[in-house]
Amino acid sequence: MENNNKEKEINYIQIVKDSLKITWENKFLWWFGLLISLGGGGMSGLNYSFENEEAEEIPPETIENLRYFWSIYREWIIAGLVALFLLVFIFYILSVIGRGGLISSLLKMTKNEKADFSSGFKAGKDFFLRIFILNVFYGMGLLAVAVVMIFPIVRLAYLKVYGPALILVIAAVPIIISIIILASFLKIYSQIYLVGSGLGIFESIRSAYAVLKKNIKESLIMGIARMISGIIAGMSLLILFLIIIAFFSTIGFLAYFSIGYAGAIAVAILGISTLVVVNFIWQSAFNVFLQCAWILFFNKIAAVEDKKEEKLKEEAKEKILELEKV
């Protein structure tokens, strides 16, 4: 038991330090982080109202104006929506490729192998379809769980049975949160198995589940460390934003009093552009840091499982040799 506990000891602070070092010394990885950021937008929630009798009716004039606007600009609206959909889809494809390329490059680095952007991007393209299917599998699984958990609540609320609906909400929220957390761990480990070992999709999921099952406590601690890192990174970015805003605000006032509105507007545009660029660079680097931390952590817990399996195999071989001698 003592040996197992020693094997389980994980220096989370060292993982963070090593991740920061790798992220800073290998800035080509930030391009993969940028690709991941392009497809990282969340979906907005849907708001439901069950008090339809109190909803305000849209004035007939507004409906008529909307119909008139649609009749004139229908082709442009459809073209814009199609272009927006294609743009989002392309960004998502690049995000998945970036994820595969980043995992592949980091795994090479942990093995002291040479890694660069071109080889990583090629690996990302090779693993694109499998990572995409894996993401869809987890997404559909979470959606199915959400539907099963939420549908009875929505039904009761629609029937205005608010007491049981509230009880179900209180019971469902911690369950859904727990499932999301565990699914996020499974997804991270599955992606690493998929890219690092060449396993199939379901083999990667099974292997990820086996590792998670034996390392739930360690995974939760790592999740807390990730959350703390995110808070620190967010606060740091906020401070940096405030410094940039203060700087360009000062320059803008000076430009306004010396040049006029044109100078102030030019400084404002430059300031906003700077904020956007800094935000993307920051997100890119942070994506690399997070993925690196998870891979270093995964190597620790996977190594423990590998050692255990090797010991079991050695013990089995010894028993077979003893039986053969007898």
Question: Is 182 inside any structural domain?
Answer: yes
Question: Is 258 inside any structural domain?
Answer: no
pLDDT single digits (tens) 224-239: 999 999 999 999 999 9
pLDDT, position 324: 55
pLDDT, position 15: 92
Overall average pLDDT of the 34-45 stretch: 64
CA distances from 31 to 12, 129, 172, 190 (A): 26, 20, 39, 23
> Quick check: 132 pLDDT over 70?
yes
pLDDT, position 292: 95
Instruction: Name the more confident of 79 and 304.
Output: 79
Question: Is 193 inside any structural domain?
Answer: yes
pLDDT single digits (tens) 179-215: 889 999 999 999 999 998 878 888 999 999 999 999 9
pLDDT, position 152: 84
Instruction: Name the more confident of 30 and 6.
Output: 30
> Quick check: 261 pLDDT over 60?
yes
pLDDT, position 64: 74
Question: Is 7 inside any structural domain?
Answer: no
Overall domain count for the chain? 1
Question: Is 133 inside any structural domain?
Answer: yes
pLDDT, position 325: 56
C-beta of residue 186 within 8 angstroms of C-beta of residue 209: yes
Residue 194: domain span: 129-214
Question: Is 19 inside any structural domain?
Answer: no
Question: Is 241 inside any structural domain?
Answer: no
Question: Is 145 inside any structural domain?
Answer: yes
> Quick check: 76 pLDDT over 90?
no
b/e code 14-33 from CB counts within 10 Å (16+ = b) = ebbeebeebbeebeebbbbb
pLDDT, position 40: 66
CA distances from 206 to 169, 191, 279, 289, 317 (A): 31, 12, 37, 26, 26
C-beta of residue 133 within 8 angstroms of C-beta of residue 201: yes
- Least confident stretch, 43-52, 217-226, 272-281: 43-52
pLDDT confidence of 311, banded at 50, 70, 90? very low
pLDDT, position 52: 43
The pTM assigned to this predicted structure is 0.77
E strand or H helix that includes residue 139 = helix 128-158
